[in-house]
Amino acid sequence: MALSADGKWGAVGTATGLHRWDTVTHTFRRILVRPGLRLVISADGSWLITDHGDRAVAVWRTTDGELQQVIRGRLSFGPAFAAAADGSLVVVASDHEAVLWDSSSGTVMRKFKLSGQFVTAVAVSPAGDWFATSGYDGIVDLWGCRQRRTHLA
């Protein structure tokens, strides 16, 4: 589940697809047939990212539900993902690797080898200059776009 930055709408993934709801009128409509239980909405609300079910994440246009691109990699089931506030990049983390993607082209900008256990969460800083990963071991790692920055317990 996610809310748009302006709070006017939200999206929720279910077994029957992805549904968008209007937070003012409380109306729902299905925008995607393909289920995606986890999702991120871009800051401008023009696209969203969902888990794709086949070890990938998908980028969808919110106006018509059109698939824009599928990001694949060495992803395990249930990758963690997040987008920069300006929508310029997406971080997808799974197992022991995080991949920084250019969201407009879908190309890999950089790969990061992660230490610790299976990654369960990722977050991108508002400026998009660093991101954090965490996993079952309880360790939070902060990563710069060029190098690892710090390791927190």
Domains of the chain: 1-72 (2.40.10.480), 74-153 (2.40.10.480)
Q: Which two tokens stand for residue 55?
A: 């070890």
Report d(CA 73, CA 42) in Å as an integer: 21
Which residues are within 8 A (CB) of 26 and not within 5 positions of it... i.e. 6 or more apart?
Answer: none
Over residues 77-94, the mean pLDDT reads 78
Cα angle at 123 between 51 and 147, to 5 degrees? 115
Q: Model-level pTM?
A: 0.71
Q: Share the mean pLDDT of the chain.
A: 78
Cβ burial of 151 (10 Å; 0-12, 13-18, 19+) is exposed
CA 24 vs. chain centroid, Å, equals 26
Report d(CA 134, CA 123) in Å as an integer: 9
| Dihedral-angle region of residue 76 (phi above 0 means left; psi in -120 to 50 means alpha; beta otherwise) | beta
Q: How much is the pLDDT for 134?
A: 86
Name which residue leads in pLDDT, 121 or 114.
121
Q: How much is the pLDDT for 86?
A: 78
Percent of the chain whose pLDDT exceeds 90: 2
Residue 76: band (very low, low, confident or very high) from pLDDT cuts 50, 70, 90: low
Q: Token match 């070890």: residue?
A: 55
In the predicted structure, residue 35 carries a pLDDT above the cut 70: no
Report d(CA 45, CA 147) in Å as an integer: 30
Q: pLDDT tens across 52-73, in order?
A: 666 677 888 888 778 887 777 6
